[in-house]
A = this chain, B = another copy of it.
Amino acid sequence: MTTVSIIGGSGYGGGELLRLLLSHPAVEVKQVTSRAHLGEYVYQVHPNLRKRTQLKFSDPVALEPVDVLFLAQPHGQAQHHIDGYAKLAEKIIDLSADFRLKDAADYQRWYGEPHAAPEWLNKFVYGLPELHRAVIASANYVSGVGCNATASNLALLPLVKADLIDLASPIIIEVKVGSSEGGAEGNAGSHHPERASVIRTFSAFGHRHTAEVIQEMGVSNVSLTMTSVDLVRGVLATAHATVKPGVTTKDLWKAYRAAAKENPFVRIVKERRGIYRVPEPKILAGSNYADLGFDLDESNGHVVSMCAIDNLMKGAAGSAVQCMNLMLGLDETTGLEFMGLHPI
């Protein structure tokens, strides 16, 4: 058994990671840390784990060496401790934003302060298997992904990979998100009477995840608009772009089918009947799927590409476990078989 530990296990990403790893057939969870909940049973914070583990939250200073170390702390922390962590484990997967960007100047621009360990930026691989499967398989350091960036990147992936869009035209991505994206710590706006039933645009443009779309998709004229809606888990990214002259719906089908064929967690949802004709995040809760759909207005080349994911799974813990599987030489889908629920 591969031994793993999680630093920062009381947050939503850490909890989801723990759920996945506890039922993963090839790993054994050694420690889960939380300063705020030190000594409590993990099921007191993550009630779904009751009767499944007697693990208690331990102190991060008491970490023992393991094969794979997961970092699931708030942004801005891992970069200060990465040298120490690297002594504890040969392989590290960091779910935070600390090692996603390649360029320290980009980090400073989007995160507002200098990076504390810029020499580590190029040691990390951006952990989206659909983009970097082979490199991840041989990497020791893998970064997690931004959930909104992942939905946006996967919405664009078939179009960019098949070189179908006009990169000179602006790409507008409207991202609708659930409340778990904000993390386990509440704030005035997450108080239920204020947060229920919202359609609340919290960023018209300039969201930090934009940097990951620019970096990974090689696009520059791109904008993300972020809107919260009433849902706990889930992201739907709707990308508006312009296809190159002559590109047809048939070309798009070919590109999307290729993406679904190459990637076990990518599905195409484009039906003419039934209730679920397009990608929808609600049925993805707990699953690692990224559902893609598209529609092309052939009269003007306007393509609408959609990607739905569970932000805590494909947008965080699920992709992280998928990366771990690749790094360990396991089947990519191991431990990620849950199909999601209908109805929900």
Question: What's the interface size class on A, roughly?
Answer: 35 or more
Copies of this protein, total: 4
Chain B CB count within 10 A is highest, among A191, A229, A238, for A191
A128 an interface residue at 8 Å Cβ cutoff?
no
Q: Given A176-B176, A238-B201 in contact, is the A48-B196 Cβ separation under 8 Å?
A: no
Q: What per-residue 1/0 map shows which CB atoms of A53-84 lie under 8 Å from chain B?
A: 00000000000000000000000000000000
A257 an interface residue at 8 Å Cβ cutoff?
no
A206 an interface residue at 8 Å Cβ cutoff?
yes
A200 an interface residue at 8 Å Cβ cutoff?
yes
Q: Given A197-B232, A238-B225, A344-B197 in contact, is the A297-B190 Cβ separation under 8 Å?
A: no
Q: Chain B contacts of A44 at CB under 8 A?
A: 271, 273-274, 276
Asked whether, in the complex, the Cβ of B189 is within 8 Å of the Cβ of A236, the reply is no
A188 an interface residue at 8 Å Cβ cutoff?
yes
Chain B CB count within 10 A is highest, among A170, A188, A201, A230, for A201
A51 an interface residue at 8 Å Cβ cutoff?
yes
Q: Given A227-B238, A297-B205 in contact, is the A45-B274 Cβ separation under 8 Å?
A: yes
Asked whether, in the complex, the Cβ of B278 is within 8 Å of the Cβ of A201, the reply is yes
Q: In residues 203-230 of chain A, which contact B (Cβ within 8 Å)?
A: 204-206, 221, 223, 225, 227, 229-230
A244 an interface residue at 8 Å Cβ cutoff?
no
Q: Tell me the minimal C-beta distance from A189 to chain B in angstroms.
A: 5
Q: Chain B contacts of A206 at CB under 8 A?
A: 297
In the A-B complex, the 7 residue pairs with the smallest Cβ-Cβ separation, listed nearest first, are A186-B191, A204-B295, A193-B343, A47-B276, A192-B195, A179-B192, A48-B340
